[in-house]
Structure 1
Amino acid sequence: MKKRGRNSGMPEECRSWGLREDLVDECNTAKIKAAG
């Protein structure tokens, strides 16, 4: 599995949605904010 830049730590949930790259990034940001 290739890591892709800043999305390499993408939660599996976000990736499983099959969203476009920009939406996946938004998903990551939301999860980070929720966790923080």
Structure 2
Amino acid sequence: MLIPDNIVIEIKFDYLTIGLIGTTILLLMIIKKKLL
């Protein structure tokens, strides 16, 4: 089965957004720990 390019791009974009959200949450947690 051939997967359309736009679906592949959307999946990659979803993983990028999830990764960015994860890293931002981790950074916020580290900053909070340093401040407290």
User: Which TM class, normalised by the smaller chain length?
Assistant: 0.3 to 0.5
**TM-score with structure 2 length normalisation?**
0.46
**TM-score with structure 1 length normalisation?**
0.46
Higher relative contact order, chain-length normalized (CA < 8 Å, sep 6+): 1
Q: Which of the two has higher C-alpha Rg?
A: 2
Give the structure with the larger helix fraction.
2
